[in-house]
Each structure stands twice: as C-alpha cells, then as structure tokens.
Amino acid sequence: MRPVVFFLTIGLSAAADIDTEGLPNTGLDTSSWTTGTAPPIDDLVNLHDIQIAAKNTLSAANYAYYRTAALDEVTYQNNLFAWNKIRLNGFSFTDVSDVNLKTTILGYEFDAPFFIAPAAKAGRADDGAEGNLVGAANAAGILYIPSISSTQSIEEIAAAAGDDQVMFHQEYVWSNKTRLQDELTRIEDTGFKALVLTVDNTGIQGIRNWQERYSSSNDNGHDATFTIQSLSELQNMTSLPIVPKGVKTAHDVKLCADLGFPAVYISNHGGRVVDLAPTAVEILLDVHRLYPEVFNQIEIWADGGVRRATHVLTLLALGARAINTRQVELDYFGAPLSGETSSTPYYVSASTYT
C-alpha cells in the first residue's frame, strides 16, 4: 500500500493550486500547471494571468520581492481596483478606421504612449534580466526606463540597446553625492537621453511585510534632507533633462512645471513606499481642479495598477502623455504588450470619480 500513497501525494502536490489574490476571474484554468514551471504562454491572455503565472513559477521569495507593497497594501489595491469607479464614454460618429498609437515623449517618437517603468532586479525573474526588457521595448517601439537598482550595470543595459533605440534612465537621490555624481555621469556617457529622478522615498522607508518575511534588507541610502531647492541644484549635476518621479500632489506637479522641468511623473511607486497614498486618477483630477494650466506647460506621465488598454485610455483622457503598465508582470516576462489595443476615442467623465 505505501508506494501507492506516496505516488498519489507527489501527483497532488505537482498540480498548481494558486491563490489569485482577488484578481478578476478571466476563466484562467491552472489545473494542468506544474508549480515551479512556466505554464504555456498560450494560457495567458492578459496581465492578470501573467501575474498568476509568475506566482506559479518564481520562488516564493522572488515573487514576494516583486509583488510586495507597503503596510496593509491599501494603495496597492486601490491602484488595481480604483478603475471600477471610472466610466469611459465614447463618441459614436467618429472615423476610427485609421488610427495609430504613436506619440512623442520628451520629443522622441515612440509607437505607443505606454512604457516600461523602472523596476529593480529583473534578474530575480530571468537570467536575461534588464536585457530582456531592452529587447522587448525595442521590438515594440516603446520606451524603457531601467532602474538604478537593476541586476545589470548601466553599461550592460546601454550595450543591449538596438540601433537608434532611445532609453531614459532612473536614479535615486542618494545621500552619498559622490555615488550620485558618478552614476549621473555614467548614465549620460552611455547614451541615455533623460534622467527619471525618483523623489518619493527620500527619508521614507517603505515597510513591506511580505518581503520582510524573506529578507530584512530594504532600500537605503536615500537623502532625507532632500528639498525643492536640492532638486533645482541637482539640475547642475547633469546636462540631461530631469523628470521627477513619484510626485503625488497637484501642488508638486505645479511646482515642477514652474521650475521648468520638461515632464513630471505622477506615481505612488506601486504602493510600495507609503500606504494610503492617492492613485494617479485622483491626483490628475486634483491637477485639473487646481492647476489646469499645467497640462499646457509640461508633460505629465503616470502609473499605478495599469493593466488594461482602458486604464491607459483613462489616464490619457485625463491629460497624461505617457503611462507605465503594471510592473510585476513585465519583469516576469519581459514582454511589454498584452496584445490589447483599442481604436475607439474615449473620454472620462471626471464627475464619476469623486
């Protein structure tokens, strides 16, 4: 009897039984999947599926690293589900037979208004690490902004670029100014065209319980003395255009516009830094209410929970120029496009979101 029981146990543990974390039920059937093995790509038809595939395939520690957010993850959840409060409407009598998604970001042409945002350590998902994302962005004609906390070096990522591929690079505000200047110089020397400066974790340490279970290490070294004056002074450390990332109030959007920055990037860092922070939709609505002139002054980029073309359309309709699509899934697959596009002109009724 014993060998039979043994084989039955192995058979049961190999089949994937995955907690889908409250994501929309899109009919995904994981019953034939094997835990720890990448499922057939044909099973995955949207970014929710890809998250579940990542959960099935990555080690628990690596999944936790990508998936984690701060405290009770209220902001993380709001990013994903605040779209439920949006109503998109479209005009019926518009010729949409010849549309394209092309846009410019800081004057550079791209094939779509969505991009791959900075996310640390792509190498925890695949040995190809950030190089995969450079290649995917190039194939899709979209922008990639590698993180300064990447698995690969600034130089390795730059070397993976295709002919004429335009990339920007992310940087943190380190308190160690020698390190900061060294990285800024390397980013400029290796051909990145703009600097995305993350300003949302100076003096704040995101407390991420899920990740803490596997590692006590966290981001550190960020400059807690950072002010708007330091931001202005930082413009003297590089000749690249600087785009402040992680701006969360209409007031700060306006401040960046008045200081002459070419773009500002509204983001709550995927809910990973401060819990209870507002979503991009809420912040954009504040900008409309308080400083509507800003949309003619400066490019506004945005992210947070963007998984569907309808989410991209919502943010575009609210005045954003460039939008990052949800990060965990991109890291896992290095494939920026979900295959979902829309040719319908939409507008958002802001009054539905109050």
Task: Give the helix/strand (H/E) hosting 297.
Answer: helix 294-297
Q: Closest approach of Cβ 96 to ligand FMN, in Å?
A: 27
**Nearest residue to ligand FMN on Cβ basis:** 270
Cβ-proximal residues to 258 (8 Å cutoff; 6+ apart), any chain: 297
Q: Is 57 annotated as a binding residue?
A: no
Binding mask 123-142 for ligand FMN (x = CB under 6 A): --------------------
Least CB distance to ligand FMN at residue 120 (A): 4
* DSSP structure class, residue 174: B
Query: Can you read off the two tokens belonging to residue 105?
Result: 């970001």
Q: Is 269 a catalytic residue?
A: yes
Report if residue 304 touches ligand FMN, rule: CB under 6 A: yes
Reported as type and span, the H/E element at residue 104 is: strand 103-105
Q: Is 273 helix (H, G, I), strand (E, B) or coil?
A: coil
Give the pair of three-digit tokens for residue 345.
């002109």
Q: How far is the CB of 193 from ligand FMN (least distance, A)?
A: 17
| Least CB distance to ligand FMN at residue 171 (A) | 9
Query: Do the annotations mark residue 288 as ligand-binding?
Result: no
What are the angstrom distances between the C-alpha of 55 and each of 23, 37, 148, 160, 279?
13, 10, 25, 28, 25
List the x/- string, 152-171, binding to ligand FMN by CB under 6 A. ------------------x-
Distance CA(84)–CA(352), nearest Å, equals 10
Nearest CA to 136 among 342, 341, 343, 329? 329
Alpha helix segments (H runs only) across 58-169: 60-67, 74-81, 129-140, 154-159
Q: Which is nearer to ligand FMN, 123 or 344 (CB)?
A: 123
Q: How far is CA 122 from the centre of its chain?
A: 13
DSSP string for residues in 12-62: HHHB-----TT--------TT-BTTSPPPGGG--SHHHHHHHHHHHS-HHH
Q: Which of residues 256-285 bind ligand FMN (CB under 6 A)?
A: 267, 269-270, 272
Q: Give me the least distance between CB of 189 and ligand FMN, in Å please.
A: 21
Question: Can you tell me which of 120, 250, 285, 318 binds ligand FMN, judged by CB under 6 A?
Answer: 120
319 binds ligand FMN (CB under 6 A): no
Pick from 151, 202, 324, 338 the residue near ligand FMN by CB under 6 A. 324
Among 33, 66, 83, 144, binds ligand FMN (CB under 6 A): 66
Q: Which window, 113-121, 180-188, 292-300, 345-353, contacts ligand FMN (CB under 6 A)?
A: 113-121
Please identify every residue annotated as catalytic: 269
- Provide the annotated binding site: 65, 118-120, 147, 170, 172, 198, 208, 245, 267, 269, 272, 303-307
Which spans of this chain sit near ligand FMN (rule: CB under 6 A)? 66, 79, 117-120, 147, 149, 170, 198, 245, 267, 269-270, 272, 303-306, 324, 326-328
